[in-house]
Amino acid sequence: MEKTYDPKAVEAKIYQSWEKGGYFTPKITPGKKPFTILLPLPNANDPLHMGHGLFVIEDILARYRRMLGDPTLWLPGADHAGIETQYVFEKKLSREGKSRFDFDRKTLYQTIFDFVEQNRDINRQQLKKLGFSLDWTRYHYSLEPEIIKTVLHTFRKLHQDGLVYRGERIVNFCTHCGTAFSDLEVDYVEKNEFLYYLNYGPISIATTRPETIFADVAVAVNPKDKRYKNLVGQKAVIPLIDKEISIITDGLIDVNFGTGALKVTPAHDATDFEIGQKNKLETLVVIDKNGRMTNLPEKYLEMTVSKAREETIKDLGKEGKLIKIEPLRHTVGICYRCKTTIEPMIMPQWFVKIKPLAKPAIEAVRKGQTKIVPKKRFEKMYFDWMENIHDWNISRQIVWGPQIPIWYCLDCNPDILINFLDKKGDKVSGQYQKLKEKYSFEEIKNGLQSLSAGKNPIYSLDDKPCRKCHGKNILQETDTFDTWFLSGQWPLTTLGYPNGNDFKYFYPTSVLDTLWDILFFWVARMMMFGFYLAGKAPFEVIHIHCRVVDEKGQKMSKSKENVIDPMDTVEKYGADALRIALVFGAAPGSDIHIGESKLQAMRNFTNKLWNIGRFILMNLELVANQVPFYDPKTTGLTKEDREILKDLALLIKKVTSLIERYRFDLAAENLYQFAWHRFADEYIEYSKDRIKGGDLVVLSVLRHIYLSLLKLLHPFMPFITEEIWQKFPRENKEPLIISPWPE
């Protein structure tokens, strides 16, 4: 063995040998229960960050099960990541002085496709550098034709079962990204803003949004609020436009907020929308998709929301309608990608009725069919969300992703709104009934950017001629699926649902390991689709790990300059040091601390393992490798031999139990303590005099314990353990990756 261990000289060579040997690819073995894990999908075009390093937990499980002899599938893949990828791509366009509006839909899609393809192999190679034993023969990408085919079939089935509908509802809209988001994709931050008290004639109201007064349709008070009992049924007056609106009651009004009277603006607030629906109130829109003011006095037209707020406050003050302004610290929704303030907006969207899908997914966890680990914290979180779930908005107003399989006949929907680029490349917008007077259907179709079909359009689920008018002027819905609609079906689509051999053998999967922050986005949706399509939960266990933070417990971010790049870390310390650092001391439900001192300590541990191996191997070679292999019936064992063999047996039992219980942190700590202290510091030091005296029994025990340690450490530190294993004379000639787990 070389004097020092050099990860750079070893890791790529070892990984190639594993791939060449086909050890990552399990064989379907009827009658034998498989062990299956799905890799949580990295974005196809993104390099890995330190959070992805926690895939080491899945690799520990996969390598452990493989050594137990189970057919083990760890299935890799990548996600097209809809809005996230388009957001990154649009930033690239912006740097080039371009925008998405410079392209027709088809061209923009192909341009993003090419951009992703240039980068799609990056994280695949990085996953290999971290030693992850993924079955690359089964790698999948979320935009593969067969996957999309299944996803479209699921939509049609949901539609057929009455679980898909077109609805005009309040949605969370990002005016920068230009798309609606589900409730789960909105982040909430606390902001210091203001509460404005306004004079509405006989009643005063308090609002954070004076710029939307032009869309008010009522003033609401709580029916139990005695202050306003005599005003209910009377008229309030909207300032600046002197429009009369009714004073009504609703139990949603908080009597302790502001004046206890709420201006009701159904088009621009979720609570107001609910009040408006209950009371059959009109819905007026004054903010468009670009975040500009519309449908109001000319002075404010085309202003941004913030500018309109500023001007409205000035004008209210001039007219004596601004009573007072108070500072207010409150929670505001922002886009999870670009951090723009979310604009609640009335829009026609496609929705999935979610409660029927959620019910069996809730029961599976409640009855223990699927276990969530750690249970105490995350099971409650799962139930809280699933039992209070809202219908799922699956429409996204972006190009990157599969289009929703709905087609509109333009002749039967003449009021459909269309945006397209004409033959000159100029952007044209308007209703089809007007556009068709000047432009041919082919010109509109070829330059199409987007369309909006309204709340109750006439549509079909295929692109055949219209069944009503037999016309052929058909355009597909330009909205794409929410990314989670695709990834929610991942356990099914990647295994070949419904008739694939992999699906029949490997589904349901054994364990899903993921970060807690996508328990709602991804895990719950996979549970729902698993029951809806396959009648079974997709996982036996959902293991939740936590985020990686720096040494001080702070979240890693570029602004704090505390980000640790996993690839830089591998380059500096080796993959094994990073892997064991990520699990060492990482208790369930707690953040995982990573910093230079911990990485150095684990690099030192790899060096210690190497030096132990060099010492034993050197002494074996001095006696020409004539040392008999250890056998329980070996004679000549000393008290110290029997004690450490007993300790080894206890270690094997403990580490096995800890891995089975998902306590990888304790397993790593026990291995570290035994290898460094019990074995190296105590037993090896004790053995040196016996070795000098030519005692072959002690060498036999040393080799047996060391090779057993390599097996136990292999799931955690696969490269160095495999490299040392290959250098040792041993009874088992198989590579370490498929050697049997010690008993």
Q: The tokens of 418 are what?
A: 């269309």
317: domain CATH number? 3.90.740.10
What is the CA angle 112-113-114, rounded to 5? 90
Cα 65 from Cα 281, distance rounded (Å): 61
Four-CA torsion 228, 230, 235, 238, nearest 10 degrees: -30
Residue ranges of E strands in 122-241: 140-141, 164-174, 179-181, 186-200, 203-207, 218-221, 235-238
Give pLDDT, residue 591: 82
- Same domain flag for 470 and 504: no
Over the stretch 569-588, which tens digit does the pLDDT of each residue have? 999 999 999 999 999 988 87
Cα 15 from Cα 23, distance rounded (Å): 10
Confidence band, pLDDT 50/70/90 cuts, at residue 559: low
- Same domain flag for 226 and 335: yes
Report yes or no on 683 lying in a domain: yes
743: amino acid identity, one letter? E
126: left (phi over 0), alpha (psi -120 to 50) or beta: alpha
Which stretch of 334-343, 536-545, 713-722 has the lowest confidence by average pLDDT? 334-343
Which stretch of 462-466, 498-502, 524-528, 556-560 has the lowest confidence by average pLDDT? 556-560
Is residue 558's pLDDT more than 60? no
Domain count, the chain: 4
707: domain CATH number? 1.10.730.10
Compute how many other C-beta atoms are within 10 angstroms of the C-beta atom of residue 656: 17
Give pLDDT, residue 561: 67
What is the CA angle 341-342-344, rounded to 5? 140
Task: Collapse the DSSP code of 528 into the 3-class scheme (helix H, G, I; strand E, B; otherwise coil) and give the result.
Answer: helix
Is residue 622's pLDDT more than 70? yes
Give whole-number Cα distances, 668 to 247, 572, 663, in Å: 66, 22, 9
Give pLDDT, residue 162: 97
Using alpha carbons, select from 295, 310, 291, 334 the residue that is nearest to residue 210. 310
Is residue 184's pLDDT more than 70? no
Q: The tokens of 611 are what?
A: 């030096």
SS3 for 43-104 is ECCCCCCHHHHHHHHHHHHHHHHHHHCCCEEEECEEECCHHHHHHHHHHHHHHCCCCHHHCC
325: amino acid identity, one letter? I
Task: Collapse the DSSP code of 136 into the 3-class scheme (helix H, G, I; strand E, B; otherwise coil) and give the result.
Answer: helix
495: domain CATH number? 3.40.50.620
Over the stretch 138-171, which tens digit does the pLDDT of each residue have? 999 999 999 999 999 999 999 999 999 998 888 8
Task: Collapse the DSSP code of 217 into the 3-class scheme (helix H, G, I; strand E, B; otherwise coil) and give the result.
Answer: coil
Which of 298, 319, 344 finishes a domain?
344
Average pLDDT, the chain: 93
Give pLDDT, residue 675: 98
Report yes or no on 360 lying in a domain: no
- Same domain flag for 652 and 532: no
In DSSP terms, 460 is beta-bridged to 407
- Alpha helix positions (H), 584-625: 596-622
Report yes or no on 154 lying in a domain: no
Give pLDDT, residue 510: 98
Cα 679 from Cα 310, distance rounded (Å): 73
Report yes or no on 483 lying in a domain: no
Exposed e or buried b per residue across 374-402, where buried means at least 16 C-beta atoms within 10 angstroms of its C-beta? beeebbeebeeebeebebbbbbbbbbbbb
Q: What is the mean pLDDT of residues 324-345?
A: 90
Give pLDDT, residue 556: 65
Give pLDDT, residue 455: 86
pLDDT > 90: percent of the chain: 80
- Same domain flag for 667 and 519: no
Give pLDDT, residue 473: 96
Is residue 550's pLDDT more than 90? no
Using alpha carbons, select from 616, 600, 739 the residue that is nearest to residue 679. 616
Is residue 82's pLDDT more than 80? yes
- Same domain flag for 417 and 272: no
- Same domain flag for 430 and 520: no
Over the stretch 497-540, which tens digit does the pLDDT of each residue have? 999 999 999 999 999 998 877 778 899 999 999 999 999 999 99
- Same domain flag for 194 and 54: no
Give whole-number Cα distances, 274 to 147, 214, 267, 280, in Å: 37, 19, 10, 10
Q: What is the mean pLDDT of residues 708-713?
A: 98
- Same domain flag for 581 and 726: yes
Report yes or no on 426 lying in a domain: yes
Cβ neighbours for 18, distance < 8 A, ≥ 6 positions apart: 24, 133, 722, 735, 737
Which position has the token pair 């990834």?
487
Confidence band, pLDDT 50/70/90 cuts, at residue 557: low
478: amino acid identity, one letter? T
Report yes or no on 84 lying in a domain: yes
Cβ neighbours for 346, distance < 8 A, ≥ 6 positions apart: 168, 169, 170, 171, 266, 267, 273, 283, 285
- Same domain flag for 47 and 98: yes
Give pLDDT, residue 531: 97
Q: What is the mean pLDDT of residues 355-365?
A: 96
Report yes or no on 417 lying in a domain: yes
Which of 294, 319, 344 finishes a domain?
344
Paired sense of beta strands 548-549 and 539-545, if any: unpaired
Residue 409, domain extent:
405-478
- Same domain flag for 423 and 294: no
- Same domain flag for 288 and 206: yes
Compute how many other C-beta atoms are within 10 angstroms of the C-beta atom of residue 30: 5
Report yes or no on 207 lying in a domain: yes
Using alpha carbons, select from 684, 695, 597, 698 the residue that is nearest to residue 642. 698
pLDDT > 70: percent of the chain: 99
CB 213 within 8 A of CB 433: no
Cα 96 from Cα 168, distance rounded (Å): 37
In DSSP terms, 78 is beta-bridged to 141
Is residue 99's pLDDT more than 60? yes
- For 512, phi then psi, to 5°, come to -110, 125
Using alpha carbons, select from 291, 293, 294, 272 the residue that is nearest to residue 283. 272
- Same domain flag for 494 and 599: no
Cα 541 from Cα 531, distance rounded (Å): 15
CB 178 within 8 A of CB 515: no
SS3 for 228-274 is HCCCCCCEEEECCCCEEEEEEECCCCCCCCCCCEEEECHHHCHHHHH
CB 509 within 8 A of CB 538: yes
Task: Collapse the DSSP code of 427 into the 3-class scheme (helix H, G, I; strand E, B; otherwise coil) and give the result.
Answer: strand
Over the stretch 286-321, which tens digit does the pLDDT of each residue have? 999 889 999 988 999 999 999 999 999 999 999 999
Confidence band, pLDDT 50/70/90 cuts, at residue 176: confident
Which position has the token pair 């190497």?
610
Cα 208 from Cα 729, distance rounded (Å): 76
Give pLDDT, residue 186: 85
Q: The tokens of 457 are what?
A: 């359009």
Over the stretch 251-283, which tens digit does the pLDDT of each residue have? 999 999 999 999 999 999 989 999 999 999 999
Which of 533, 562, 591 finishes a domain?
562
